Structure 1
Amino acid sequence: MALGFGHIVNGLLGNMSQTSTTELNSKYGIYLLPNEEIDSGFILVRDVIIFTNIRIIYINKKDVTGKKTNIQNIYLMNIIDVEVETAGFGIDDSDIKLTYLKNVQRRPYNEILETVKFEFPKSYEISTLYQSLEALAYQNRLDINNLKDQA
């Protein structure tokens, strides 16, 4: 796929543009786990963020040719906090900041936390994504603290 002018402008402004799940599956389906399905995805010039039913996949193309690729994962079960900043006037964008457990054992009082921020174009309705991620973070907190019955 050739990058259109909109992708380039969004890339220069530092935010992503949404792309189809069909396109994402054809290009990045090789990185999916069995039974993993792409829900949505965004492109930032050469980098890609993909939301699946299991994880968030961040694909970072390296070097001039883009053949060298770094793939990072945030498993949905490890997201514990979500912050959103909506777009204002002018060229502001919206962003979501996720805090997640980096350690494999999901136990209270033994956390290794990491935070990542993703920027989205002002035209993208970020509230739906925020609500989904926040509900997920809340459920993860209940599970980690063994408070399942209080939900």
Structure 2
Amino acid sequence: MGLMDGLLGNYSEVSTDELQNQYGQYLMPDEKIEMGFKLVRDTFIFTEQRLILLDHQGVTGKKTRIHSISMDAIFDVTMETAGTGFDDSELTIHYIVSPYYRANNVETTTYTFEFGKKFNVQPIYVALTTLAHENKNKINK
């Protein structure tokens, strides 16, 4: 993995120290980075409370759009493994965007991440699926 994967739209893992140095100012008090991944200019970070998506925009990449997804909002995860040829692995999270999770008209959306063929996405899938299962149980009690 590296620049070529980044150019092809695939994320590669980044050390938590590097992420802390570069994006620590976006963390809430006592929030810790568990893992993170980087594309050429975009990054996503897992903390114990949320998933942070950083989209660097413009020619210089100084303009940044930051989006947070609460871990409590994730209710489903789908995974597509890499096939033969140029296929990549994909991980799609389904999450609630409306502020009230038990409302009659709950709004949801998805976000898809692409990983290179050699990246083992299964551990992330299992962790997020476990979280989604726990969230569904909490929401439907």
In the other structure, the counterpart of 2:84 is 89
Structure-1-length-normalised TM-score: 0.89
Letter in structure 1 aligned against 2:41: R
Question: Which has the larger Rg?
Answer: 1
Structure-2-length-normalised TM-score: 0.95
**Deviation, structure 1 residue 12:** 1.8
- Using the TM superposition, name which of 6-15 and 90-99 deviates more: 6-15
What's the % identity of the aligned pairs?
44
Q: Distance in 1 between matches of 2:6 and 2:107?
A: 31
Kept in 2, the 8 Å contact 1:108–1:144? The answer is no
**May I ask how many residue pairs the two structures share in their alignment?**
141
| Per-residue deviation, residues 73-102 of structure 1 (Å, max 9, x unmatched) | 111000011000011123321111111000
**Deviation, structure 1 residue 108:** 5.3
Q: 5+ residue gaps in structure 2? A: none
In the other structure, the counterpart of 1:144 is 139
Structure 1 residues 10-25: aligned runs within 5 Å: 10-25=5-20
RMSD of equivalent CA atoms:
1.1
In the other structure, the counterpart of 1:100 is 95
**Deviation, structure 1 residue 125:** 1.1
**Deviation, structure 1 residue 59:** 0.3
Q: Distance in 1 between matches of 2:115 and 2:35?
A: 13
